[in-house]
Structure 1
Amino acid sequence: MPHDDQKGSRLSLLLFYFLAFLLLWEWLRPLDRFTDTKHTGFFIVFIGLTFLLTFFRMRWFVTVPFSVLFTLISVHILFYQGSIFDLSWVSSFLQDVYLNITLIQSGLWNDMIPSFRTLLFFVLLWLLVYLLHYWVIYQRRILFFFMMTVAYITILDTFTPYDATYAVIRIVLIGFFMLGLLYLERIKLMERIALPKTSVLKWFLPLSVFILAAVGFGLSAPKSDPAWPDPVPFLKKITNQERVPAGESKIGYGNHDESLGGPFQPDDTPVFTWQGKERTYFRVETKDTYTGKGWIETDTGMSYQLSGGQVENLWFDHKVETERSTVRVKVDEHYGYNHVMYPIGAKAIKPKQAVSLEMNGNTEQISPISEQAGEIRNMGRYTIIYNSPVYKLDELRKVKVRNNSEEYTFSDRFMQLPESLPERVRTLAAKLTQEHDNMFDKVKAVEDYLGSNEFTYETENVTIPKDHEDYVDQFLFETKMGYCDNFSSAMVVLLRSAGIPARWVKGYTSGEYKEAGNKNGSIYEVTNNNAHSWVEVYFPEQGWVTFEPTKGFTNPAVFTSSDTQDSGGSEGSSSPEKTKEEQKEEKKQAEKQKEKRETLESNKPSASHAHAGAGWYGTVAVLAALLLAAVLLYVFRSLWIPIFVVRRWKRRSDQIVFFEAYGALLKQLKRRGLPKRDSETLRDYAKRIDGKYGSEDMSKLTLRYERALYRNEDSVSLWNESRKLWENLIKRRWS
């Protein structure tokens, strides 16, 4: 640190640190809008505390342990369960770190797990705090970082959904105040003067008036329309859309569904393989609260342990006929989640590894118990015994939609709708269902409407709703194109608007056929492309029934009439009025249609954009690595720049090399915090340098330099005599 008389008052330092903190905060604000980065509060607190420790001049043996401890605690809270004092999670964390280092070495940036990305991000923020500390306190400059921040925010405003209107205003205010105040500090240092508070105030007040007036004028001035066209379509055109557009992500499962919409990029990264005799959907969790932008779980619910892996029947009434089935699952070793993927009706889950399971009572997600969660990267191999339901259409059609005054046998959270839901959504729901007198036909009417030619399955040209737009309303009335999240969310909202309880479910489809297998069934492979969302509807005295509104996908549920079965997952192929011959023919046609749809399903991407973020994760990781490398090169420039300087001038023997080399030495000394003062002669400066480090090297070199400069002695001869002395000085590590 510089001496106190060179730093100004402690109050000024605190103000500089505070403004630097606000400027760095602007880099974190947009992350939860265009990436899957959540819980940015941890990062904000981290940089704030790091700035405070730096302000109070805490030594490295305090700041380093604190930063490491804060990082580990944050990673534990975000990604691991159980007590932090149970150090068993540390072993799992270190294994993850080792695995991710090998992934980096292999160039598999997108496969890094979230906990390791978070660790890297904490390290990056730590280095940025140090860099800002050096710029502000030592160099008294902030223009470069200020311009980087402006460029960063404006690029995000142009190419992502982030609205930077107010961010730019905040950055301009913070940046101009810092530029003005730091310039005053540089004047005080160069002139070696101590200004009274009144003089500082005379500087500060006009500066504040000027900045506030400029910002006010910019806000109030009329704005003309853009003179240039939107650059995004142009960039897509010249690149032939080979790159993923801004806001586009790779598909796959993720934890965050709060903000749905936008395009996605296919990703065939394996998730798991399974063996069984019948195709089925694999559930991960359900969400009950629609916000207008996406889905959240307002009440995480109580988790209860599955004794011996036995799962309580939460889905069907005892009247529903079921068929016993078994699937054997093998999760890919790189899959970064430890939840169980299971079919509806799961009865028993038998992991190969010794792990106890628990189920969340609200989301119905099954995962290792809290005490073991940190030790389990994913579930590996496990077997599921489940009861596959066979619904009777006659029984389902007996169920009537109850009046609003009547309550269902469970909480009304499956009837929730946001107050901001546009009225035209409710009107459409009433129009679609008004001609039917039972719940099943009303549900099928909504499902058939979403499967009609009015809607298009689309993964690329999918928009993100603006702040004032509702996600479902935009899909139903504006774009009418999207993927599974659009279709499934729209169906749940329409059903709830019609008084029918429904919920949003996400997980995976059955994937693609891989090989014949053995007596246990065929083997299928599920990739990130098969991540999917669908709908479950509650029928009193029947239970939860699966529906599939997304075009091109086949409902895995089985419906039967009183006479025959239809395993195609549709309404059913028969009715009591039709003859058995007609029923058989329709059954054959339904089976053919099912085969076509399954073929289409196996070839079409089917995941939700909201859970994806791997594409952005990879981009952010690459940018973070490049920024980290740039920061390290800048911070340690005093180590590597002299090497290039020596190589540049060491072997030259011309008339001007001595003068250029001496100037390069002065520049290196300034970079190391030892600049020549304006009031000093070269000899005075050389004596100060020698006196500080107890040598005479700088004085000897300076005398020879002056002989060449002022006496016109042979500079080549003097340089050859001084070459080694100059090299030792410029390579010396000044502390």
Structure 2
Amino acid sequence: MWKLPKGLEWLAALFLFLMLREWMLPLKELTDTGNLTHFYYIAAGVLLLDLVVRWRWLTFPIKVAAVLWLLYSQFFVTPFFDTEWIKEIYLRIMHDFPLILQQNWTEMSPISRNGLFYLLLVTLVSLLTYLVLEQRQGLWFVFLTELYLAILDTFMPYEADGAIIRTLAIGFLLLAVTHLNAMQKVASVAGKGQLTVWNSLIAPMLIISLTVGIAYAAPKKAASWPDPIAFLTGKETGAGTSYMKKVGYDNNDDRLGGPFIQDDTLVFIALTNEKTYWRGDSKDLYTGVGWQKGSREYEPILEPNQYQWGNILYRNMEMKQVTASLEFKGGEPFSTIFYPGQIKKLTHYTPQNATLVYDKQNQQLEVRDGKINLIQSQANQKQTITVPNTMLMKLYNYRLEAEVPVVSEKALTNAGTEYPEEIKKMYLQLPKNLPPRVRELAQSVTKDAATPYQKVRAVENFLRSSGQYKYETKDVPVPKQGQDFVDHFLFESFRGYCDHFSSSMAVMLRSVGIPTRWVKGFAPGTRTGDDGNGREIVEVRNKDAHSWVEVYFPGYGWIPFEATSSFISPVRVNYDLNTVEQQQPTAVPNLGQQNSPDRGDGRLDELEGEDGNTSRGFAIPWEVWAMIPVLLAAGSAIVWKRRRSLTVWWIHRQMSTQQDSRYAEKYKLLLRLFENVFTNRHQGETLREYVNRLTISGDKRQDLWYLTQLYERVHYGYKDMEEKAKTIANKMIEQLSQQLKP
């Protein structure tokens, strides 16, 4: 029943476990798997059983029992020897069995999903143990592991550089050990011979360590081929890229910028009584290249249709009640809830088992796949709590009740600067290496503004209306490595889209002490009709993905502002300043006293020439003018030197376009070829005299003589050629023409 593995077999099993570990490590980053310990236990346990048990079929009950124990430790608090938990597992599996056949994994219970995955992992490890360790078929597994890691590194947000190097070293060592183990079995050795076998491992280990180490540590030239996935998926985020992305809503904003192409894919259709922003998420941490989330506070919502939100964004303002029904049609539904203004209620959603995780700091709603039970240990006692599932879910339709503010200009002007400490801590953050000229520009733009509201309007007007910054989606450069995203837009590129404008407004306002955050979602969309009851039918597409800013005003909350020049803010504003205040208009940047930054040798003027906004023409340097005659002379010399070759090429091209029935024209072209390749025909010289004078081989002369006689018969005798003779003549012309080269 038992067998005692040898040292090489233990070593091979260790290397195989390390290879399996490389398959499991990406799960922690690419999925919601928080702990891989259970997977390691299964892989190590199966390897151990298959090593020490002689008959593999005997290990099956032990492996199943281990899977049951793992499920028990995860989901149950009843005594282990109580059969109730086994019955519960059996009932869950029977209930989920039709879902397994339908491959509807998201609707299955966590117990069934985990159990199925554990059994699949047990089966795979057992099969690999047999094929790799016993049958010595390990090369394909090493290759498959490298391919798996390469695909993850290319297509997924997973850095597999180290994993690929480790797998290469471990894989070669695994092959070497299994090969030596097989040799040891064929030619058994004892005593010093055992030491010889182990010594034979030193050479491959040194070679593998040396080659892999040098390859990893040696300086390497940067990739000459760009990442192809940037072009295929439009998700390139590397610095310096110029590949087109597709516009659309994306949760990853770690690195902004780069060109994109418009995408008209339909995302959802909304029926609403107010066209406004569709808010998805906000972010507070500006990194210099993009936006991330800082500290967060989450609230689980197990019954969303019974939950009521308070004034999460706006306070002490006039509100308009909004109702909206969203149905995701053409595009892929999102796990984020998009809502107008501030959400109050969420109902009539599908699937109905959805739960929510509410990010209270950023007012984001993330949809989860139902509920799960977790076991918590407190004071040596276990208790079960119900929380939203860790797996995301996508809603296909839902109904919203919300509020949008009617912003009082007078109230915001008088709001003051009594910001709470937690607001200042989170929403005045800026990178330490932010270039000083960004702050200086913000101070210059807002120097005539007396209140925060006037400063906000001054920065907004500067970005939207100063004429210095152009909305552009295709010809959009990316900052160099280490260069600040906002600084690059404000002082070098002068062109971009909503991410550039909104990020610049947020950073500029923060630099003058006004709490601001970056918000994203969708623009209002396109009206396509109405339902006859005062509600509009709106189509929102990928091209409507948008970002804007929210500015905090004490006592009133987060008010949205629009910095992008080509977008109109949908926020309702009540211009209720009194007469005296109306005579003091909102501050705008003093562009007359501000030095216009260098645009890069008129590059932006050239781009904006079609809009008639250029202030100076583009001057061609004198060096370019001087090069033009030189290039023309060089080109003419090359053409003159190769004139015969070009003439022959042109005659060949004309002959290829002539029809076979036009023998006389093809013969004349052939004669021109001979004249260009050999010698010209003298004035008054007959065709026969010219053919006799040519210095050519006998075969060519005979063929040309035959073709000349045919031409004379057709041209002077007015006789038609027979089809057979015509076919032969055309073949002879083709052969002769191919042999003639200058």
TM norm structure 1:
0.57
- Give deviations 1:531-561, integer Å, cap 9, x for gaps: 4433211012332111233453332212232
Question: Alpha carbons of 1:121 and 1:483: their partners in 2 closer, same or farther (altered >3 Å)?
Answer: farther
Q: Is the 8 A contact 1:333 1:378 kept in 2?
A: no
Asked if structure 2 preserves the Cα contact closer than 8 Å seen for 1:309 and 1:357, the reply is: no
Alpha-carbon distance in 2 for matches of 1:491, 1:65 = 60
Given the alignment of the two structures, is residue 443 of structure 1 paired with residue 456 of structure 2, yes or no? yes
Seen in structure 2, the aligned counterparts of structure 1 residues 433 and 135 have a Cα distance that, compared at 3 Å, is farther
Structure 2 residue 552 is matched with structure 1 residue 556: no
SS in 1 for 2:550: strand
Answering whether residue 138 of structure 2 is matched by residue 142 of structure 1, we say: yes
2:552 aligned residue = 538
The partner residue of 2:469 within 450, 454, 462 is 454
> Aligned match of 1:209 in 203, 206, 213?
206
Tell me if the contact between 2:516 and 2:549 (Cα under 8 Å) persists in the aligned partners: yes
Give the whole-Å Cα distance in 1 for the aligned partners of 2:65 and 2:247: 38
Match of 2:427 among 390, 407, 414: 414
For residues 553 and 332 of structure 1, the distance between their equivalents in structure 2, rounded to whole angstroms, comes to 25
Name the structure 2 match of 1:314. Answer: 312
Per-residue deviation, 1:295: 1.5
2:200 counterpart SS class: helix
SS of corresponding position for 2:566: coil
Is the contact between residue 342 and residue 403 of structure 2 (CA under 8 Å) also seen in structure 1? yes
Q: Aligned equivalents of 1:214 and 1:575: distance in 2?
A: 76
2:413 is matched by which residue type in structure 1?
R
2:293 is aligned to 296
Q: 1:116 to 1:185 in 2, by over 3 A?
A: same
- For 2:399 and 2:177, how far apart are their aligned partners in 1? 67
For structure 1, the residue ranges without an aligned partner over 5 or more in a row are 77-84, 104-114, 565-573, 579-735
Equivalent residue letter for 1:230: W
1:53 match: secondary structure = helix
Which residue in 2 is equivalent to 1:188?
184
User: For residues 17-32 of structure 1, what are the structure 2 equivalents within 5 Å?
Assistant: 17-26=13-22
Instruction: Tell me how large the CA RMSD over aligned residues is.
Output: 5.4
Matches for 1:150-549 after TM superposition, within 5 Å: 150=146, 166-193=162-189, 198-218=195-215, 223=220, 229-230=224-225, 257=253, 270-291=266-287, 293-302=290-299, 309-318=307-316, 320-330=317-327, 340-351=337-348, 359-366=358-365, 383-399=399-415, 407-408=420-421, 410=423, 412-419=425-432, 425-426=438-439, 428-451=441-464, 453-454=468-469, 456-458=471-473, 483-549=497-563
Q: 1:223 to 1:409 in 2, by over 3 A?
A: closer
User: In 1, Cα distance between the equivalents of 2:546 and 2:186?
Assistant: 64
Residue-by-residue CA offset, 1:592-650 (whole Å, 9 max, x unaligned) = xxxxxxxxxxxxxxxxxxxxxxxxxxxxxxxxxxxxxxxxxxxxxxxxxxxxxxxxxxx
Q: Partner of 2:558: helix, strand, or coil? A: strand
SS of 1:278's partner is: coil
Distance 1:262 1:72 in 2: 50
Q: Which has the larger radius of gyration?
A: 2
Note the C-alpha offset of 1:19.
2.7
Superposed, 1:597-676 pairs within 5 Å as: none
| CA distance in 2: counterparts of 1:89 and 1:266, whole angstroms | 47
What are the superposed Cα offsets for residues 564-615 of structure 1, whole Å, 9 maximum, x if unpaired? 9xxxxxxxxx95479xxxxxxxxxxxxxxxxxxxxxxxxxxxxxxxxxxxxx
Q: After TM superposition, give the deviation of residue 314 of structure 1 in Å.
A: 2.6
Q: Any residues of structure 2 matched to 1:702-717 within 5 Å, and which?
A: none
Structure 1's 208 and 364: CA in aligned 2 closer, same or farther, altered over 3 A? same
Matched-pair contact (CA < 8 Å) for 1:97–1:116: no
Q: Distance in 2 between matches of 1:73 and 1:243?
A: 41
SS in 2 for 1:518: coil
Over 3 Å counting, the alpha-carbon distance change for 1:347 and 1:140 in structure 2 is closer
Alignment check: 8 A CA contact 2:43 2:122 kept: no
Quickly say closer, same or farther: Cα 1:69–1:559, change in 2 above 3 A: farther
Aligned to 1:275, the other structure's residue is in SS state: strand
* Cα offset, 1:119, TM superposition: 11
Partner of 1:55: 47
1:267 touches 1:529 (CA, 8 Å); kept in 2? yes
2:437 and 2:118 mapped to 1: Cα distance? 46
Partners of 1:201 and 1:376 in 2: CA distance: 51
Q: CA deviation at 1:500?
A: 1.5
Preserved CA contact (<8 Å) 2:305 2:345:
no
Cα-to-partner distance string for 1:43-65 (whole Å, 9 max, x where unaligned) = x5465333212212273345467
Which region of structure 1 is more displaced relative to structure 2, 553-562 or 392-401?
392-401
Shift of 1:173: 2.9
Cα distance in 2 for residues equivalent to 1:278 and 1:373: 32
Question: In 2, distance between residues paired with 1:515 and 1:140?
Answer: 68
- State the Cα deviation string for residues 295-321 of structure 1 (Å, max 9, x = none): 125222345788955431232232x33
User: Percent of aligned pairs with the same residue?
Assistant: 30
Contact 2:264 2:543 in 1 (8 A): yes
Aligned partners of 1:47 and 1:126 also within 8 Å? no
Give unpaired runs (5+ residues) of structure 2. 51-58, 77-86, 238-243, 372-385, 586-742
2:665 corresponds in structure 1 to: none
Within 2, Cα distance between the matches of 1:309 and 1:303?
11
Change (3 A) 1:29 1:373: closer
Match of 2:738 in 1: none
220 and 411 in structure 1: CA distance in 2 versus 1, 3 angstrom threshold: closer
Measure the CA separation in 2 of the matches of 1:531 and 1:92: 41
Aligned twin of 2:609 = none
Using a 3 Å threshold, how does the CA distance of structure 1 residues 469 and 327 change in structure 2: closer, same or farther? same
Q: Is the 8 A contact 1:515 1:524 kept in 2?
A: yes
What does residue range 3-42 of structure 1 map to in structure 2 within 5 Å? 4=3, 8-9=5-6, 12-26=8-22, 37-39=30-32, 42=35
| Equivalent pair of 1:396/1:539 in contact (CA under 8 Å) | yes
Contact 1:514–1:524 (Cα < 8 Å) also in 2:
yes
Does the C-alpha gap of structure 1 residues 559 and 231 become closer, same or farther in structure 2, counting only changes over 3 Å?
closer
**Paired amino acid for 1:300:** E
SS of the residue corresponding to residue 458 of structure 1 reads: coil
Conserved? CA contact 1:414–1:496, under 8 Å: yes
Kindly state the Cα deviation for residue 513 of structure 1 after the two structures are TM-superposed: 2.3
Shifted more, 116-125 versus 272-281: the winner is 116-125
For the Cα contact (< 8 Å) 1:537–1:544, is it kept in 2?
yes
User: What letter is aligned with 2:570?
Assistant: P
* Structure-2 change in CA distance of 1:316 and 1:217 (3 Å): closer
Contact 1:275 1:328 in 2 (8 A): yes
